[in-house]
Amino acid sequence: EFENTGESPLNLKDYGLFAGSAAPLWEGEWDRHITLFYQKDGDYKKRRGIKFKKGKKPHFKEDAGVLGYAGVSNQFFATIISPENPYDAWIWGDRRAVQLPEIAGGGSGESIRLGMSLPEKKLTPKGDNKEALSFNIYIGPKNSRLLGLTGEEHDRDYAKVMSYGMFSPISKFLNWLLNVLFSSVFSNISDSWGWGYSIVVLTIIIRGAMWPLQNKSTRAMKRMSKLQPQIKELREKYADDPNRMNQEMMKMYRDYGINPLGGCLPLLVQIPIFFGFYIMLQYAVELRQQPFLWVEDLALPDTVATLPFALPFLGDGVNLLPIVMAVTMVLQMALTPKTGDKMQRRLFMMMPVIFFFFCYNFASALALYWTTSNIFAIIQMLITRRLPDPELKKKKGAAKKSFMQKIQERAEEAQKTQKAMRSRQMGGQGPKKPKKRGPRTGG
């Protein structure tokens, strides 16, 4: 409630409301986790700490339109202020250096502060009238379910504060399923390792759902490996004509009904799930300070030792789970049937290295997911190896051209025609025929 006790009229819009600040929870927290956000005319807007860090000025001011809510957050916690009655407002923010407490590992970091203007309300002097403003305030964890329920109470969409991005549907579903597994099963089994068990079982559920696709891919790669002698012959026969060699190889794949990229399909399907899991785990406050096996905190790297020196791109911490993950991934690649596709083989060779660096300094929960996934794949391949090998035989009616093959041939013919036309244009109309010489006349 506001009252003007002065001698002159006042406008509340000339005043502002401090809406909180957010700082890193630990020294290694990424700048992108420190976020300022607001709802402008119904649309969610945000500014990450990295934008402040790279900007020329440590502060900004912006028209927020009809302000639904505004707030700040770090990796796991948020402060949200929403006016009971939305109004046209300005917001401003700045960054400031802060000293992190010992419980956060010490060191320095940068915090974000947020302010918002009050609505345009004129107050006459001497307290002749009073104005009351109501705000709803949320200060707590960035829990997807809790934010959703709180937002519904205030008719606001707080769930967007989770910032899952383009993989939001996958991340929300995985977070929901993870919570269901913990609350209905593992919270009653283990007081300390329940969340770790939930991640392992969630991974098994995902891999089990993909079993038919993985099995089909493995059988296709086995059939492709049986074509290696024919592929070698084609490489030798058309060594000087790569285009013809590729055409003949594709024709052979079609005749035998083999998709040369079939081995990559399960990996491609897993990539959206991986990134959905990756983003979900970034903000899974449920995993904070939750142990599993030798891991003290599933939301942090599982550092078991510290080196006296720092390794490039890795730092000085010895994180065990990413190493186990990389080893299981190499074993999985070793059991995968070899194909004649060089690009596919190179991709498979690079994957353990890429994921090792990607997961090394991230939350150990992600490495736990990927390690469990690799072990499941290894068991699956060992089972598949015991099954009879698929037969390699040509498809019936292989000579019959499909609709896509006809389109491909027409495209190749059009390309050849264009090439021939360009060749004629560059070379002119060809050699001119000599003119016939007329009969000589005497003189």
Average pLDDT, the chain: 76
Identity of the residue numbered 377: A
Q: CA 249 from chain center: how many Å?
A: 35
Q: Within 10 A of 195 (CB to CB), how many other CB atoms are there?
A: 26
Phi and psi at residue 401, in whole multiples of 5°? -85, 135
What sign results for the dihedral spanned by CA atoms 148, 150, 153, 155? negative
* Residue 415 pLDDT: 63
* Residue 404 pLDDT: 43
Q: Phi-psi category of 423—alpha, beta or left, where left has phi over 0 and alpha has psi -120 to 50?
A: alpha
Q: Of the ranges 111-120, 242-251, 342-351, 426-435, which is most confident?
A: 111-120
Q: Are the C-beta atoms of residues 148 and 124 closer than 8 Å to each other?
A: no
**Model pTM score:** 0.68
Residue 440 — very low, low, confident or very high, per pLDDT cuts 50/70/90? low
Residue 251 tokens read as: 């024709």
Average pLDDT, integer, range 319-332: 87
Distance separating alpha carbons of residues 62 and 53, to the nearest angstrom: 18
Per DSSP bridges, beta strands 77-83 and 59-73 are antiparallel
Largest separation between any pair of C-alpha atoms in the chain: 130
Distance separating alpha carbons of residues 115 and 94, to the nearest angstrom: 9
Distance separating alpha carbons of residues 67 and 40, to the nearest angstrom: 5
Q: Of the ranges 217-231, 235-249, 275-289, which is most confident?
A: 275-289
Distance separating alpha carbons of residues 284 and 75, to the nearest angstrom: 9
Q: CA 241 from chain center: how many Å?
A: 40
Higher-pLDDT residue of 390 and 237 is: 237
Average pLDDT, integer, range 95-106: 64
Does the pLDDT of residue 1 top 50, yes or no?
yes
Average pLDDT, integer, range 286-311: 84
Higher-pLDDT residue of 270 and 200 is: 200
Does the pLDDT of residue 439 top 60, yes or no?
no
In 100-167, alpha helices (H)? 144-153
Q: Within 10 A of 326 (CB to CB), how many other CB atoms are there?
A: 23
In 238-284, alpha helices (H)? 242-256, 265-282
CA distances from 350 to 326, 333, 344, 345 (A): 11, 10, 10, 9
Running DSSP on this structure, what letter comes out for residue 7? S
Does the pLDDT of residue 266 top 70, yes or no?
no
Render pLDDT for 151-199 as a digit per residue (tens, 0 to 9). 777 777 888 888 787 888 888 898 889 988 988 888 888 778 888 899 9
* Residue 399 pLDDT: 46
Residue 200 — very low, low, confident or very high, per pLDDT cuts 50/70/90? very high
Render pLDDT for 108-164 as a digit per residue (tens, 0 to 9). 667 788 888 888 877 777 766 777 788 888 888 888 888 888 877 777 788 888 878
Higher-pLDDT residue of 271 and 285 is: 285
Does the pLDDT of residue 403 top 50, yes or no?
no
Percent of the chain with pLDDT over 90: 1
DSSP 335-402: HSPP-S-HHHHHHHHHHHHHHHHHHTTS-HHHHHHHHHHHHHHHHHHHHHHTSPPPP--PPTTTTSPP
Helix (H, G, I), strand (E, B) or coil at 317: strand
* Residue 263 pLDDT: 59
Average pLDDT, integer, range 249-276: 72
Nearest to 46 by CA among 37, 59, 34, 55: 37
Does the pLDDT of residue 254 top 80, yes or no?
no
Distance separating alpha carbons of residues 262 and 401, to the nearest angstrom: 21
Q: Of the ranges 48-57, 105-114, 340-349, which is most confident?
A: 105-114
- 311 burial (CB, 10 Å; 0-12 / 13-18 / 19+) is exposed
Distance separating alpha carbons of residues 406 and 412, to the nearest angstrom: 10
Residue 86 tokens read as: 């939305």
Does the pLDDT of residue 301 top 80, yes or no?
yes
Phi and psi at residue 110, in whole multiples of 5°? -130, 135
Q: Of the ranges 9-23, 172-186, 327-341, which is most confident?
A: 172-186
Does the pLDDT of residue 391 top 70, yes or no?
no
Helix (H, G, I), strand (E, B) or coil at 202: helix
Distance separating alpha carbons of residues 233 and 239, to the nearest angstrom: 10
Those residues whose C-beta lies under 8 Å from the C-beta of residue 204, and which sit 6 or more positions away, are 372, 376
What sign results for the dihedral spanned by CA atoms 94, 95, 97, 98? positive
Give strand ranges (E) for 243-347: 303-311, 315-319
Instruction: Parse the chain into domains and list their residue ranges.
Output: 2-163, 180-385
Radius of gyration of the chain measured on its C-alpha atoms: 32
Higher-pLDDT residue of 141 and 400 is: 141
* Residue 123 pLDDT: 75
Q: Count helices and strands (H / E) in the chain.
A: 12, 14
* Residue 443 pLDDT: 42
